[in-house]
Structure 1
Amino acid sequence: MLPITTQIAPDSLINTKGVPHFGHFDGIVKSLGVANFAYFDTMDRPASAWARRFDYKQFQFVSLVTPRYVIGVALADIAYLGSAFCYIYDIKNNRLTQQNWLKPLRLGYQMTPSPANGNSRIGRKGAGLSFEIVQGGWRLLLDTQHIQADLRLLPAPLSLPMAMCSPTGYNGWTYTQKHNGLTVKGSLTVEQEPQPLNQALAGYDFSAGFMRRDTSWRWASISAQIEGGIMGLNLAAGVNETGANENVFWINGERHLLGAVHFEFDRHASKGAEVWRIYSHDGQVELQFSARNCRSEKRNFILLKSNFRQYIGHFSGTIIDNQGRRHSLNNVLGLTEDHYARW
Structure 2
Amino acid sequence: MRAVRDLPAPPASVVADGAPASGRYAGRIAHIDWRELSGSFRRSAVWRRFHHKRWQYLGLGNEAVFIGLAIVDVGWTCTAFAYVFDRKNKRLLADWSQDGLPGLQCQLSDAPVTGAWAWFRGLGAHLSFEHQAPDCMQVKVKTSGLNLELEIDLSAAAPWLLAMGAIGTGGVAHATQKSSALPVRGQVQVQGQTFALDDAWASIDSSNGLLARNTDWRWACAHRPDVGFNLQNGYFGGNENALWLNGELIPLGAARFEFDAQQPLKPWRVSTDDGLLDLSFSPEGARQQNRNLLIAASQYIQPIGTFSGWVKPATDAAPYAVSDLLGVTEDHRSTW
Structure 2 length-normalised TM: 0.89
Matched, 1:303 2:295: yes
Deviation, 1:118, is 2.9
Partner Cα distance (1:87, 1:4) in 2: 35
Deviates more, 1:157-166 or 1:301-310: 157-166
Give the stretch that moved more between structures: 198-207 or 157-166: 157-166
What is the alpha-carbon distance in structure 2 between the residues aligned to residue 324 and residue 136 of structure 1? Answer: 34
In structure 2, what is the Cα distance between the partners aligned to 1:75 and 1:174?
17
**Is the contact between residue 126 and residue 144 of structure 1 (CA under 8 Å) also seen in structure 2?**
yes
**Residue equivalent to 1:148:** 147
Written as runs of structure 1 = structure 2, the 5 A alignment for 1:55-70 is 55-70=51-66
Q: Does 1:31 align with 2:25?
A: no
Q: Deviation of residue 193 (structure 1)?
A: 4.2
Contact 1:156 1:253 in 2 (8 A): no
Q: Is the 8 A contact 2:311 2:321 kept in 1?
A: yes
Q: Report what 1:103 is aligned to.
A: 100
CA distance in 2, matches of 1:118, 1:196: 25
Match of 2:43, SS state, is coil
The CA deviation at 1:156 is: 6.2
- The residue that corresponds to 1:175 in the other structure is 175
For the structure 1 residues 290 and 13, does the alpha-carbon distance in structure 2 shift closer, same or farther, using more than 3 Å as the test? same
Go from structure 1 to structure 2 and tell me whether the alpha carbon gap of 1:302 and 1:313 turns closer, same or farther (over 3 Å shift). same
Alpha-carbon distance change, 6 to 251 in structure 1, aligned in 2, over 3 angstroms: closer
Which SS does the other structure have where 1:7 is aligned?
Answer: coil
Counterparts in 2 of 1:125 and 1:47: CA distance versus 1, 3 Å: closer
Name which of structure 1's ranges 300-309 and 130-139 shifts more when overlaid on structure 2: 130-139
The equivalent of 2:335 in structure 1 is 342
The 1:5–1:223 alpha-carbon spacing in structure 2 relative to 1, beyond 3 Å, is closer
User: 2:120 is matched with which residue?
Assistant: 122
Q: Which moved more, 1:318-327 or 1:77-86?
A: 318-327
Map of 2:223 onto structure 1: 223
Looking at structure 2, the residues matched to 4 and 321 of structure 1 have their Cα atoms a distance apart, in angstroms, of 9
Counterpart for residue 251 of structure 1: 245
Q: Cα gap change, 1:47/1:198 in structure 2, threshold over 3 Å: closer, same or farther?
A: closer
CA positional deviation for 1:256:
1.9
TM-superposed deviation, 1:124: 5.5
State the 1:23 CA deviation. Answer: 0.5
Gaps of 5+ in 2: none
**1:14 pairs with 2:8:** no
Q: For residues 186 and 124 of structure 1, what CA distance do their matches in structure 2 show? A: 23
The amino acid across from 1:93 in the alignment is N
Structure 2 CA distance for aligned equivalents of residues 200 and 252 of structure 1: 18
Q: Distance in 1 between matches of 2:80 and 2:214?
A: 20
Distance 1:289 1:187, change over 3 A: closer
Distance 2:74 2:10 in 1: 26
Structure 1 counterpart of 2:148, one-letter code: A
Residues 82 and 106 of structure 1 are in contact (CA less than 8 Å); yes or no, is this contact kept in structure 2? no
Q: What root-mean-square deviation, in Å, do the aligned CA atoms of Structure 1 and Structure 2 show?
A: 2.4
Q: How does 1:178-197 map to 2 (within 5 A)?
A: 178-197=178-197
Do 1:181 and 1:253's aligned partners in 2 also have CA atoms closer than 8 Å?
A: no
SS of 2:130's equivalent in the other structure is: strand
* Segment drifting more, 187-196 vs 278-287: 187-196
CA contact (8 A) 2:252 2:274 kept: no
Q: Measure the CA separation in 2 of the matches of 1:100 and 1:148.
A: 14
Find out whether 1:264 has 2:258 as its counterpart.
yes
Given that 1:121 and 1:130 are in contact with CA atoms closer than 8 Å, whether structure 2 keeps it comes out as: yes
Q: Is the 8 A contact 2:49 2:76 kept in 1?
A: no
Aligned to 2:269: 277
User: How many residues of Structure 1 are paired with residues of Structure 2 in the alignment?
Assistant: 328
Please, which of 129, 132, 136 is the counterpart of residue 130 of structure 2?
132
Q: Distance in 1 between matches of 2:275 and 2:259?
A: 19
Alpha-carbon spacing, 1:6–1:252, altered in 2? closer, same or farther (3 Å): closer
CA distance in 2, matches of 1:135, 1:333: 28
Q: Which one-letter code corresponds to 1:88 in the other structure?
A: V
SS in 2 for 1:341: strand
Task: State which drifts further: 293-302 or 104-113.
Answer: 104-113
Q: Distance in 2 between matches of 1:58 and 1:144?
A: 23
**How far, CA to CA, are the matches of 1:161 and 1:258 in structure 2?**
14
DSSP 3-state at the match of 1:53: helix
Q: Closer, same or farther in 2 for the Cα pair 1:90/1:220, shift >3 Å?
A: same
- The residue number in structure 2 matching 1:160 is 159
Secondary structure in 1 aligned to 2:48?
A: helix
